[in-house]
Structure 1
Amino acid sequence: MSEVTTTDLYEVTTALSYLREDMRAPATFSLFVRDLPPGRGFLVAAGLETALDFLSRFRVGRSDVQAFAEALRRPAEDLEPLHGLSFDGQVRAVPEGRLVFAGEPLLEVTAPLPQAQLVETYLLSLVCHQTVIASKAARCVLAADGRPLVDFSLRRGHGPEASLRTARLCAMVGFAGTSNVAAANRYGIPAVGTMTHAYVEAFPSEEQAFRAFARTHPGPVTLLVDTYDSDHGVAVAARVLGDLGLGRGCAIRLDSGDLGALARRSRTALDAAGLADVRIIASGGLDEYGVDRLVRQGAPIDAYAVGTKLSTAADAPYLDAAYKLVEYDGRPVMKLSPAKATAPGPKQVFRGPGMRDVVGLANEDPPGGTEPLLRTVMRGGLRVEPPETLAAARARFEADLAALPEEARRVESPVAPVPGVSTRLTVLTTVVRHRIEARTGAGRTVRG
């Protein structure tokens, strides 16, 4: 049984019916976000690399058919049409690291209808989770205003695999390192860590703990000072670092209490001890809101470690995303449900200066002075180019972030740009809507 079976049951029943009805013509599905989560002025496109990996190896094997049959309580022979189904379609997508807004497709899949249908759930899961996390991490970067950030999310993330992705996404948007050793090795991210409270508690005193740690790690060390009393811990750390002649590159870490006030007292104590080179790192329930408040208060904190609220995107943990059919066998289609209507046809996003975006049709010419965001990344089920590097995604992110309007960059009460809609897409939407209404009676007023 493979990851093919990690899907909603109705994807299986729908794809099977398409095969039984010989509905195998090309279909285009668009994956987009209807509305930005509260408190967001933008999203960071993410998850494309893992999505392409999934599509590249997608194939329904014999054990998958058996799993589907058991889930449906039907003989495996009934599910036989699904056996051997693989993905050989095309994907157009916004590259990772680019900023996107509500109503803009993050990716579009064009493939024989059963294939395009069966990959829906997994693609949504990959793209939605990673876009949520990358967007939260990007806001932390904005809040830190140039101060280094470190990912401390592994122990509180939604499982080890999700935490690996979180570390990668944090690096993509500019974090300086991660505590996750596996992620550091897999993605070439600097590994960063300090010490545990348990380590300090295991020794008779803080001073003995700090001296023992420095003996084991003679290079720059970071001492955790809040196990008992932060002010006392800072004084002990200053004494140990001074005695050992350590300073440049070393740090103390504050992990609880009033971080702003503690940081100010700690800075004064360290400077008085001749340890102006010793940095202050803050952690403990921080996210962009906490970091933003500390930065605006002028707290003398040199770096921030964020974890729990980042890895769970605590204030906005999901996207109102959809994967909707927009064309089948050359026929534009749309959904008319109230508050969930979709626009027909394969699309493109045309970006102008100042993040002035226009959503149009994929086959229309770009308006003057704009660039298309979606590009072809898979053709015939194969990647068009090798997997991208984190550096490439980070460069795109930094360029887009620099161009983002100030009101969308705000941590508190941001205002997101609203994309326009091209004339051709508006006309097509009207034509398709009228066609559907004429055929189904949708939109007519019901009279009692």
Structure 2
Amino acid sequence: MSNAQVTDLYEVTMALSYLREGMTAPATFSLFVRKPPPERGFLVAAGLESSLDHLTELRVDQTDVAAFAEVLGRPCTELEPLRDLRFTGEVRAVPEGRIVLPGEPLLEVTAPLPEAQFVESYLLNQVCHQSAVASKSARCVLAAAGRPVVDFSLRRTHGVPAGVQAARLGAMVGFVGTSNVAAARAYGLRAVGTMAHSYVEAFGDEAAAFRAFARTHPGPVTFLVDTYDTARGVAVAAQVLQELGLQEGCAVRLDSGDLGALAVTARRILDGAGLPGVRITASGGLDEYGVERLVESGAPIDVFAVGTLVGVSADAPYLDAAYKLVAYDGRPMMKLSTGKVTAPGAKQVFRGPGLTDTIALLEEAGLPGTTPLLRTVMADGKRASSPGTLSDARAAFEADLAQLPPAARRIRSPQMPTAAVSERLALLTADVRRRIEERMRATQ
């Protein structure tokens, strides 16, 4: 399937109408989050790199025109104006890994109106999904309080590409590894993993299963100990590790039951067997809430493996985001729908110490001591610089996290900072609203 066909039908019909009407002047669209999901004190910008890849590669060819004509039930000749459409515009965006707040544009697209409209669905898909998962993952790192977190989400994510993205996003915010082999190879991540319960069941005996696994993988091993009785499984694992002279780098994994209480039991058994260097890994339905409870309880867990709840951002699986026209042909635009009012004009966000942000018009100068968040990442349809790296994104995240107020870092009942609006933007918004309302009254 052509990437040009990965769009909503109304993007096709609107772009075609714009082209037929000669409406090809520059338009600016702003992509932003209207309001935060519950229990979020911050959001992490993500999805930019895959969005830029899409814009760079976008080409509507004859095959795409035929596909659009087929779904519309119309002759190809009527869709011909769309042929050879590609993205030739500019993108300004917040780099991946930066912490962002509601109302702030994560990216702004300026391009001929048909092009800027056509890419809406894909950009929203990438930025919304990836920012939601990155934000959830970041909270897991905070909850772990310095203990390593790894990604086990592939088998439950909403599609294979989403699983690869989840592994990348976890690494962006501090995860130390992933079970996803493809993601590990693609992004230079540490591949991690143990064994399944089926492996232990296949042998019918835990000791036999553990010995066989260690023979095949003589390096540090992790034994899954809860297939039958967890305490007994830990004891068997300790016995096998003693027999083989293994300890440093090895671990046992708890995957069910009362993980806190079982971790205490496991630690006692391992220490009693003279294996204080064997670590305890916990998995099984964990996200930031479960991790925080275990850390606060003092459970002797060394590594947290998070999967389903994080890979799908289960408690907040989407962002209330929008991609709205804010300027066309030199004129500021805004929407007045109840509960969905937008601010007109191309914008910049200026960040001060402690994530004190101000949303301003693009042409405004920033206040002293502030820095602009949005950068030009694409010009004339081409990337303005080399793709951002994971290490760049992680460094950006860590720097912003260090500035985040403590109330926003809380896992439960966080308080998200609010971005201010510059005086010029507020005045323009009021002026554009007044003119729209006057025009509406005049046409009644």
Tell me the TM-score normalised to structure 2 length.
Answer: 0.99
Number of the residue aligned with 2:194:
194
Asked whether 1:270 is paired with 2:270, we answer yes
Number of the residue aligned with 1:130:
130
Number of the residue aligned with 2:150:
150
Number of the residue aligned with 2:260:
260
Tell me how far 1:418 sits from its aligned partner. Answer: 0.5
Number of the residue aligned with 1:93:
93
Letter in 1 for 2:274: G
Asked whether 1:114 is paired with 2:110, we answer no
Tell me how far 1:331 sits from its aligned partner. Answer: 0.1
Number of the residue aligned with 1:368:
368
CA distance in 1, matches of 2:195, 2:13: 52
Asked whether 1:280 is paired with 2:290, we answer no
Number of the residue aligned with 2:426:
426
CA distance in 2, matches of 1:7, 1:196: 39
CA distance in 2, matches of 1:297, 1:362: 49
SS for the counterpart of 2:41 is coil
SS for the counterpart of 1:304 is strand
Tell me the TM-score normalised to structure 1 length.
Answer: 0.98
Number of the residue aligned with 2:391:
391
Asked whether 1:307 is paired with 2:307, we answer yes
SS for the counterpart of 1:34 is strand
Tell me how far 1:243 sits from its aligned partner. Answer: 1.2
- Runs (4 or more) in structure 1 with deviation over 3 Å come to none
CA distance in 1, matches of 2:241, 2:402: 40
Letter in 1 for 2:252: I
Matches within 5 A, 1:65-84: 65-84=65-84
Tell me how far 1:368 sits from its aligned partner. Answer: 1.2
Number of the residue aligned with 1:334:
334
Tell me how far 1:169 sits from its aligned partner. Answer: 0.6
Number of the residue aligned with 2:161:
161
Letter in 2 for 1:178: T
CA distance in 1, matches of 2:428, 2:218: 68
CA distance in 1, matches of 2:343, 2:389: 33
Superimposed CA distance per residue, residues 24-44 of structure 1 (whole angstroms, 9 cap, x where no aligned partner)? 000000000000001101100
Tell me how far 1:216 sits from its aligned partner. Answer: 0.8
CA distance in 1, matches of 2:248, 2:17: 67
Asked whether 1:378 is paired with 2:378, we answer yes
Number of the residue aligned with 1:223:
223
**5+ unaligned residues in a row in structure 2: which ranges?**
none
SS for the counterpart of 1:354 is coil
Tell me how far 1:57 sits from its aligned partner. Answer: 0.6
SS for the counterpart of 1:401 is helix
**How many equivalent pairs are there?**
443
User: % of aligned pairs identical?
Assistant: 68
Number of the residue aligned with 1:42:
42
Number of the residue aligned with 2:16:
16
CA distance in 1, matches of 2:135, 2:347: 23
SS for the counterpart of 2:198 is helix
SS for the counterpart of 2:317 is coil
CA distance in 1, matches of 2:101, 2:292: 23
CA distance in 2, matches of 1:296, 1:69: 59
Tell me how far 1:441 sits from its aligned partner. Answer: 2.6
Number of the residue aligned with 2:293:
293
CA distance in 2, matches of 1:160, 1:21: 41
CA distance in 2, matches of 1:337, 1:367: 32
Letter in 2 for 1:80: E
CA distance in 2, matches of 1:287, 1:204: 32
CA distance in 1, matches of 2:211, 2:378: 55
Matches within 5 A, 1:22-37: 22-37=22-37
CA distance in 2, matches of 1:301, 1:175: 16
CA distance in 1, matches of 2:203, 2:376: 59
CA distance in 1, matches of 2:440, 2:163: 47
CA distance in 2, matches of 1:212, 1:284: 24
Tell me how far 1:204 sits from its aligned partner. Answer: 2.8
CA distance in 2, matches of 1:131, 1:44: 6
Letter in 1 for 2:36: L
CA distance in 1, matches of 2:413, 2:441: 42
SS for the counterpart of 2:397 is helix
Superimposed CA distance per residue, residues 352-406 of structure 1 (whole angstroms, 9 cap, x where no aligned partner)? 0111100000110001111100010000000010111100100000111111000
The CA RMSD measured in Å over matched residues stands at 0.9
Tell me how far 1:6 sits from its aligned partner. Answer: 1.1
CA distance in 2, matches of 1:101, 1:93: 14
Letter in 2 for 1:145: A
Superimposed CA distance per residue, residues 314-335 of structure 1 (whole angstroms, 9 cap, x where no aligned partner)? 0000000000000000000100
SS for the counterpart of 1:275 is coil
CA distance in 2, matches of 1:296, 1:4: 49
**5+ unaligned residues in a row in structure 1: which ranges?**
none
* Worse overlay, 56-65 or 433-442: 433-442
